[in-house]
Amino acid sequence: MELRGKRVLITGASRGIGESLAHNFAGAGARVALVARSRDSLESLAVELGGTVHPADLSDSTQVSGLIRRVEDDGGPIDVLVNNAGIESTACFTDAPEDELRRVTDVNYLAPAELCRQAIPGMLRRGGGHIVNVSSLSGIVLFPGLVSYSASKAALSHFTAGLRTDFRGLPIGTTLVELGPIPTDLLAKIDNYEPTAKSFQRAYRWGVAVDTPRERVAEEVVKAVLKGRRHVRLPKRSAPLAMLAEAPRRIAEIILTGVPHQAKS
């Protein structure tokens, strides 16, 4: 999709990968709509890049409800939805605070899915749109202490493949972003729980994990939207793992060739 003049909503734009995404989408000529909880950070970014600011807590379903309509009422239709906001949970599953599983699932899976539900009908009415869901290699592999996080990212990855199934043949592009370690505030929190920290140290030592700068992630995501690519997998050395995990979905997709994917109304 050409991005010049298009409107791109980015969640989690106040820092980290989302902030870089905002820079790169704006650099490609898009108008950005910035969502996160930290109003001040979003406003400073909007001063720099232009665009609109929509503070919201995505763990609160009452704030997620109607969010796309509110953003579209303030600046026009959304052409690209980038579900980037995410939180980690590093603890043994049964030791985590009581509301942690719900919070992680709400922010990392339910809010992105709900925003897709709100955004896609309008995109279809206007002739097309693109969804970017920022997931993780933790949605494929498991490290101790990351159970809730990994399960939420596995849900997001499978959900994204599900969108492709439901909207096959219609002008809705999807890009699933599967990331290894990216130095940000989120990654720094793995040190909070020793078994998680030690697992990462081992993965780095074995060379299976390697840091990717967030600016590189943003570059690859913008390129993927411009070229209509289904996947961004970083670091590149992780791509075979992600492809293996994707294989059963691809096989089902091929088997279902010719089957109608939308009911006739």
Ligand X SMILES: NC(=O)c1ccc[n+]([C@@H]2O[C@H](COP(=O)([O-])OP(=O)(O)OC[C@H]3O[C@@H](n4cnc5c(N)ncnc54)[C@H](OP(=O)(O)O)[C@@H]3O)[C@@H](O)[C@H]2O)c1
Catalytic residue set: 149
Q: Is 124 helix (H, G, I), strand (E, B) or coil?
A: helix
Q: Residue 129 and residue 177: Cα distance in Å, rounded?
A: 17
x-or-dash string of contact with ligand X, 202-241, rule CB under 6 A: ----------------------------------------
Minimal distance in Å, beta carbon 123 to ligand X?
22
Residue 60 or 253: the one with the smaller Cβ distance to ligand X is 60
Say whether residue 59 binds ligand X (CB under 6 A): yes
Using omega within 30 degrees of 0 as the cis cutoff, is the peptide bond preceding 235 cis? yes
Site for ligand X in 64-123 (CB under 6 A): 84-87, 107
When binding is defined by CB under 6 A, the residue of 6, 12, 118, 218 that contacts ligand X is 12
CB contact set of 33 (below 8 Å; sequence gap of 6+): 7, 8, 9, 10, 51, 52, 54, 71, 75, 78
Choosing from 81, 105, 181, 232, the residue that interacts with ligand X (CB under 6 A) is: 181
In the complex with ligand X, the residue whose CB is nearer, 41 or 260, is 41
How far is it, in rounded angstroms, from Cα 18 to Cα 24? 10
147 contacts ligand X (rule: CB under 6 A): no
By CB under 6 A, tell whether 14 contacts ligand X: yes
The Cα 235–Cα 228 span in angstroms is 20
CB of 39 or CB of 168, closer to ligand X: 39
Closer residue to ligand X, CB minimum distance, 118 or 136: 136
Work out whether 58 is an interface residue with ligand X (CB under 6 A): yes
Number of residues that bind ligand X (CB under 6 A): 28
139 binds ligand X (CB under 6 A): no
Burial per residue of 156-190, b for 16 or more beta-carbon CB atoms within 10 angstroms, e otherwise: bbebbbebbeebeeeebbbbbbbbbbbebebbeeb
Spatial strand order in the sheet of 52-55: 52-55, 31-36, 7-11, 80-83, 129-136, 172-179, 231-234
Secondary structure E strands in 137-200: 172-179
Of the candidate spans 5-13, 23-31, 119-127, 256-264, the one that interacts with ligand X by CB under 6 A turns out to be: 5-13
Distance, CA of 38 to CA of 156 (rounded, Å) = 24
Q: Among residues 47 and 126, whose Cβ is nearest to ligand X?
A: 47
Contact set with ligand X (CB under 6 A): 11-18, 36-38, 57-59, 84-87, 107, 134, 136, 179, 181-182, 184-187
